[in-house]
Amino acid sequence: MSELADSIPQGALWRDYLALCKIKVVALIVFTAVVGMLLATPGLVPLDVFVLGNVGIGLGAASGAAFNHIIDQRIDAVMARTRARPLPRGRVNQRQAIIFASSMSIASVVVLALGVNALTAVLTFASMIGYSVVYTMYLKRATPQNIVIGGAAGAMPPVLGWTAVTGTIDGHALLLFLIIFAWTPPHFWALAIHRRDDYAKADIPMLPVTHGLAFTRLHILLYTMILFVVSILPFVTGMSGPIYLGGAFFLGVAFMGHSLRLFFEDQSVGLPMRTFTFSIWYLAALFAILLLDHYLPRSI
């Protein structure tokens, strides 16, 4: 880590390094991991597992985000949404970013392997590779289905949280994975519609660029329908109770409303971004309701 400290140029700020981590994204990732941990046990999670598990998972997510910045720096310099990032602006150079990302990756594996369990360490590292290498280096540039296939890496955090507590992969943890996996396409394609010209300029084959807006809106609607069904499965399987069912139904209807408006009101300029923003709140609220249902008596 001393090499990292020495590599920071005069005038460079730690906020530039934090920007490489995509802090808001990492916060949502860690939150879903926390939910996975708490749902894995009827009681309290041991404090050391809770702290070290989330630190390790968070470092892994931040490392993947930083490697994404490194790999995408040419694209980021072209796109209006990303050209103010530290690497395109020259606030952090590639060598510094690689040292920073690698240090977090190593720290993540060490913390999880020594402080939690080997399975969580392996799965976290695999998720990081899946996002930063498989998705960013290959899928993102190769197919308009990039976010569907690559979404598996982003759906792993609740599974990681679950394995941190139990040391095993449980079917209920995979339901949490499935929820995020189904949520990712409508979430990201709404943003891709809003930034379609950016992606076209950067020659990235996002669905709105390769298949047009109408096709993308249809698929957002279809995946939202799939998400609605998948989000009910924790209740169907007995993992959650009526509190969760009511919350999931309400949130699902609201998300469906956004997708239907996006499908029919194709002239509404701000609607894709509003749909994208709502999708973030949707996921956070859905997982919060999972926790609420888990800890409140089922008789309520």
Task: Spell out a b/e string for 162-183, using b for 16 or more CB atoms within 10 Å of the CB, else e.
Answer: bbbbbeeebebbebbbbbbbbb
Q: For the domain made up of 1-169, give the CATH fold.
A: Tetracycline Repressor; domain 2 (1.10.357)
Count Cβ atoms within 10 A of the Cβ of residue 134 and give its class: 0-12 exposed, 13-18 middle, 19 or more buried. middle
| Per-residue pLDDT at 299 | 47
Cα(102)–Cα(48) distance, integer angstroms? 24
Task: Calculate helix-pair angle for 94-115, 118-129, nearest 10 degrees.
Answer: 160
| Per-residue pLDDT at 298 | 58
Q: What is the pLDDT along the chain (300 residues), one digit of tens a residue?
A: 444 444 444 445 777 888 888 888 889 999 999 999 999 998 889 999 999 999 999 999 999 999 999 998 888 888 888 888 888 888 888 898 999 999 999 999 999 999 999 999 999 999 999 888 888 888 888 888 888 888 888 899 999 999 999 999 999 999 999 999 999 999 999 999 998 888 888 888 999 999 999 999 999 999 999 999 999 999 999 999 999 999 999 999 999 999 999 998 866 678 999 999 999 999 999 999 999 999 887 544
| Per-residue pLDDT at 137 | 82
Residue 170 CA neighbour count, 13 Å, CB half: 20
Count Cβ atoms within 10 A of the Cβ of residue 6 and give its class: 0-12 exposed, 13-18 middle, 19 or more buried. exposed
pTM of the model: 0.90
| Per-residue pLDDT at 6 | 46
The CA-atom distances, in angstroms, between 177 and each of 25, 171, 188, 211 are 16, 10, 17, 28
